[in-house]
Structure 1
């Protein structure tokens, strides 16, 4: 049994089932130890209840499940958590959306889940056990106690691992995570006044790069148009990172206006994003001209990332440059004193579109999110009478993109 002192213990079925409680455990929950039928080992499980009769019912049902698995030739012990995690660290980075995401998931499991589950079998990843794990996580931390928002983020990382285990048959069902409540704080965005201030600053900021090093000019051109594109499309940072020239398209709507469409791939899958304004094409063209000039007049390949270094590899982060930019422009904080971040561009897009009367459902689809999220985080905007949608219908006509001519 675990090292903590047992304060209560009862056994059934000739010792095949043992229910016990441990000292200094919250709520005095019952735990159970089961003798594997026709085997030599034991299984340990949390019952998730402090009621003895409910715990007894849980243990009896679990023991019946074990007997059924043994009769049908299934494994009841599973492989070691540590061994499966080692396999995960080899496999997952190849299928992760980004290196950064893979590193974050693996680091969380290595720092917290691995020490907790290291002596357990992968089949012991049950919802009650995960509840206990996140209770443990709240009092085990590196720098400061985790907030509910941090726990939700941790659950998202661990869910990547449990879903991976399910797809490979190491666990028999997907695990549901009970998320703690997170205050519906408004997301820091740019209001109309600060957005106008920032865009005015950007124009002079790029002009001010004349006479400076080529690297400074390049950084300012790339960051300026990055900011304008994200704020007028609402795409996520990760979606922008993987955006390629071949992902850009146009169509002429029934109103005769040109629309710019981005094919993005993000955490919610692939989708089409209709830009807020056709000016997005101008911002894209500026980057295309920069890349063409850097390649001695040769157009960048259609498969090249739009936000790329001179060697054509994707720029992984604009965080440092963006933080310096908004500080220099005097728009680092919103009216509530919250520090703005790159994701504030996405929040700005959502806020402006709702203020302009775009329907919640249409906007949610364009952003790859849910109506509930919009209502929770952007309820401070007024959803005026719907005057227009992102696009009502689509025409098959399209103009050639400047770099296609």
Structure 2
């Protein structure tokens, strides 16, 4: 560095120097941290060379003591550390490692919530008590859509809070022991699925919604039909929206099992992960409708597209919102606003209600058994009484357990095939016995 003057090495890793960019002649020292390419620079506040050398050795000893006893070496306010952390996330976004939305969400949480909470506090003074107090503070300093901040929002912000502390520990601003322990005591997030009655209402309304488009422009008709079939495919497969966005025609395969029953295999990809999922034969019809509507049907073309054949980046988000609002189903019974993800949650709820094994469902949906149990534990066990009570006195063993295809539960393709012989309205329903009974 050009502004360093009169540099002297007192020992390996310890140097003293003057600065050419200041008006005084005081000395500074720079201490190298062992086993890392990091330094601590300190003003020695003296122009005397002998005093400077003595103080430099004192600071070197202090750094080593702090390292040995896990005492923080650097003192910085939380806001500065958080700013550096956000800058790192921006670099990760620019390198393609995280999405722009994730970077912006982190930045927003820091600026709008975490800095007002602890921004001026030295990072090494933030302890477990601050972590535990955050939910109460947050609920008193913000308003959500319905007047209250959701537990999901608080949980996300606290995840960012913890990540900043982990980052601080990696930079030696705090000790490893200061990283927050445990999870925030908040209610588990209830996924906003449709009830059978709500799904029947949506399905019925959507058919009329499509018919009314025939009196409008061909463009309106295209998008309403595409949105409707997209909805049916999502509710019958449990795909995540990002997986649907990435789905290409080459990823769709039609198969027949040894008993002659047809089903669909979808090779989906989301967060840099690939997996297979299966769906009943009724999904074949929905996909063929999409193919007939689309101008892009080559193997490398995307399944869900705009009217000119380009990838549908928003997955018809605006139209789905319009459809849900017009049908009176935009808000759930708990007051939460529904989104495209509610179709995935509906699939999970209907399959669990039908008694599908949670392990196979987790495989089908590309998630963990714990995640299924955490978010769908509200499913009524009465529906699964035979499975729960199997082996107990008075309950005969179940002799007919649903078969499994490609490591997941397989929807009843044979029943779906028989259902296809009925009217279109009956055919276009999620492929489980309970859903067929409910008129989905």
Q: Same fold (TM over 0.5)?
A: yes
* 1:234 paired residue number: 238
Judged with a 3 Å threshold, the aligned counterparts in structure 2 of structure 1 residues 181 and 132 are, in CA distance, closer, same or farther, namely closer
Judged with a 3 Å threshold, the aligned counterparts in structure 2 of structure 1 residues 252 and 379 are, in CA distance, closer, same or farther, namely same
Judged with a 3 Å threshold, the aligned counterparts in structure 2 of structure 1 residues 99 and 310 are, in CA distance, closer, same or farther, namely farther
Q: Does 1:343 align with 2:337?
A: no
Structure 2, unmatched stretches of 5+, are 1-38, 44-60, 388-399, 409-440
Judged with a 3 Å threshold, the aligned counterparts in structure 2 of structure 1 residues 118 and 301 are, in CA distance, closer, same or farther, namely farther
* 1:204 paired residue number: 208
Judged with a 3 Å threshold, the aligned counterparts in structure 2 of structure 1 residues 157 and 259 are, in CA distance, closer, same or farther, namely farther
Q: Given that residues 122 and 170 in structure 1 are in contact (C-alpha distance below 8 angstroms), is that contact kept between their aligned partners in structure 2?
A: yes
How many Å separate the matches in 1 of 2:333 and 2:134? 39
How many Å separate the matches in 2 of 1:273 and 1:168? 42
Question: CA-to-partner distance for each residue in 1:246-283, whole Å, 9 max, x for gaps?
Answer: 333344333332332223334694332222x2222222
Question: CA-to-partner distance for each residue in 1:94-133, whole Å, 9 max, x for gaps?
Answer: 4355443333233222323355565678888876665566
Judged with a 3 Å threshold, the aligned counterparts in structure 2 of structure 1 residues 203 and 171 are, in CA distance, closer, same or farther, namely farther
How many Å separate the matches in 2 of 1:152 and 1:76? 30
**1:347 Cα deviation after fit:** 2.1
**1:226 Cα deviation after fit:** 1.4
* 1:221 paired residue number: 225
Judged with a 3 Å threshold, the aligned counterparts in structure 2 of structure 1 residues 267 and 356 are, in CA distance, closer, same or farther, namely same
Judged with a 3 Å threshold, the aligned counterparts in structure 2 of structure 1 residues 146 and 255 are, in CA distance, closer, same or farther, namely same
* 2:106 paired residue number: 105
Q: Does 1:287 align with 2:302?
A: no
Q: Does 1:273 align with 2:271?
A: no
* 1:358 paired residue number: 356
SS where residue 361 of structure 1 aligns?
helix
How many Å separate the matches in 2 of 1:264 and 1:119? 46
Q: Given that residues 104 and 157 in structure 1 are in contact (C-alpha distance below 8 angstroms), is that contact kept between their aligned partners in structure 2?
A: no
How many Å separate the matches in 2 of 1:96 and 1:38? 31
Larger radius of gyration: 2
Q: Given that residues 362 and 389 in structure 1 are in contact (C-alpha distance below 8 angstroms), is that contact kept between their aligned partners in structure 2?
A: no
Q: Does 1:180 align with 2:184?
A: yes
Question: CA-to-partner distance for each residue in 1:195-247, whole Å, 9 max, x for gaps?
Answer: 23432333333233224123311220221011101101112233323333333
How many Å separate the matches in 1 of 2:139 and 2:332? 31
Q: Given that residues 93 and 102 in structure 1 are in contact (C-alpha distance below 8 angstroms), is that contact kept between their aligned partners in structure 2?
A: no
TM-score under structure 2 length normalisation: 0.59
Judged with a 3 Å threshold, the aligned counterparts in structure 2 of structure 1 residues 140 and 212 are, in CA distance, closer, same or farther, namely same
Q: How does 1:23-38 map to 2 (within 5 A)?
A: none
TM-score under structure 1 length normalisation: 0.64
How many Å separate the matches in 2 of 1:321 and 1:222? 10
* 1:31 paired residue number: none
* 1:146 paired residue number: 149
**1:184 Cα deviation after fit:** 5.0
Q: Given that residues 305 and 312 in structure 1 are in contact (C-alpha distance below 8 angstroms), is that contact kept between their aligned partners in structure 2?
A: no
My pick for the range that moved more, 201-210 or 167-176, is 167-176
How many Å separate the matches in 2 of 1:223 and 1:350? 21
SS where residue 208 of structure 1 aligns?
helix
Q: How does 1:37-48 map to 2 (within 5 A)?
A: 40=42
Question: CA-to-partner distance for each residue in 1:56-98, whole Å, 9 max, x for gaps?
Answer: xxxxxxxx996366589x9932885123422322333543554
Q: Does 1:76 align with 2:73?
A: yes
Which of 245, 250, 268 is the matching residue for 1:246? 250
